[in-house]
Amino acid sequence: MNRPIYLDHHATTPVDPRVVAAMAPWWTDDFGNPSSATHAYGWRAEAAVEEARERLAEAIGAADPREIVFTSGTTESDNLAIAGVLRAARGRRDHVVTCAIEHPAVLDTCRALEAEGFATTELPVAANGRVDPESVRDAIGERTALVSIGAANSEIGTLQPLAEIAAVCRESGVLFHSDAAQAVGKVPLDVRECGIDLLSFCAHKLYGPKGVGALYVRRGRPRVRIEPLLHGGGHERGLRPGTLPVPLCVGFAEAVSLCLDDLESEAARLRGLRQRLWDGLRERIPGVERNGDPDLRLPGSLNVSFPGVSSDALLPAVPGLALSTGSACASAGGEPSHVLRALGLSPERVRGAVRFGIGRGNDEAQIDAAVAQLAEAVAAQGGKSSPGLSRARGG
């Protein structure tokens, strides 16, 4: 069976064979529990976990490996950061500020906290998806405990002004959390340079295994106080109990390291493929529109709206392509994209939107094939399409 061209790397990525190789011994030969302190199997497992912790800390510019807390993924990290900080501040501060285009892991957590008596402010974004740091300043009040703004949006790829937002939070004495699942390993990110207090990220967006993530929790003063979500065992300094999955922790660190080794060159390659895709779509499909900021975005991210068609009908018509209409975590609900609606797009433009996530396995030939298949499908759906490319394309 011919497999579709995979253009959904923002949903997940294939595990790099080098990551698989790094994990392999920890499934069978070195199977110890890192909490077993009385024999060599536990000692070796603990050493592997601590090395992984050190590598992850270095990757995001953390000052201390102890600032890395292993979790099951970004969703858990977001819940731990937001609910943990708010509950720890209960009685003193009970307000969180976020924005309208955040991932459901952030928005749903904030809404669940409202049922506990906490207050949430969802900031609007500009037409390009960016949050104005001054709007953050205006939203912060005496009862604000936390601001949570994602580093890069999973649907439109827009990058947020993290350092500027962090500066506003610092001036106001408020903690700043960022969901960086889409950003770590793809764009430069340093938590100390940006002034971030808490950062969520995971492995499976970075050619690593599913089921493991991390929460960076800044140490030092003022202290970041978090109430744990789970209880039992005292693992991860009491913030996240449970036996750590050693192979996944090892694979996580290896995946991040591999991404950082080639960060600049891979980003340049992905930007080139993204431009080729956009140019091709514009040539073959008149009226196609790009959503989000054209420049301040992830290197491999492109979100477009096709004229006169519904993406729900379009995607089944291109079985040779693996694409999505938005966040994989939100798509199960079947609702129109809250991200695109927050940009102020018309209902027709929202219905015709498709997200492209270009990644490590894509090349020019695949991009050209995607353009051709989409142009044919749009024409068949009754949209606008030109019969051929206006110039020859290599690769």
| Distance between CA atoms of residues 314 and 319, nearest Å | 10
| Distance between CA atoms of residues 131 and 128, nearest Å | 9
123 - beta bridge partners? 99
Tokens 């005496």 belong to 142
Active site residue: 110, 169, 259, 329, which one? 329
Q: State the distance between the two ends of the chain, measured CA to CA, in whole angstroms.
A: 24
Catalytic status, residue 329: yes
What CA–CA distances, in Å, run from 144 to 45, 85, 112, 150?
Answer: 41, 11, 17, 18
Nearest to 152 by CA among 173, 131, 182: 182
Instruction: Walk across the sheet containing 175-179 and list its strands.
Output: 68-71, 213-217, 198-202, 175-179, 144-148, 95-99, 119-123
Question: What are the φ/ψ torsions at residue 179 (nearest 5 degrees)?
Answer: -80, 110
Q: Are 85 and 226 in contact (CB under 8 A)?
A: yes
Q: Which two tokens stand for residue 395?
A: 């690769």
**Beta strand pairing status for 68-71 and 119-123?**
unpaired
| Distance between CA atoms of residues 98 and 100, nearest Å | 7
What is the phi-psi region of residue 211: left when phi exceeds 0, alpha when psi lies from -120 to 50, beta otherwise? left
Say whether 81 sits in a helix, a strand or coil.
helix
Tokens 């890395």 belong to 68
Positions marked active-site: 329
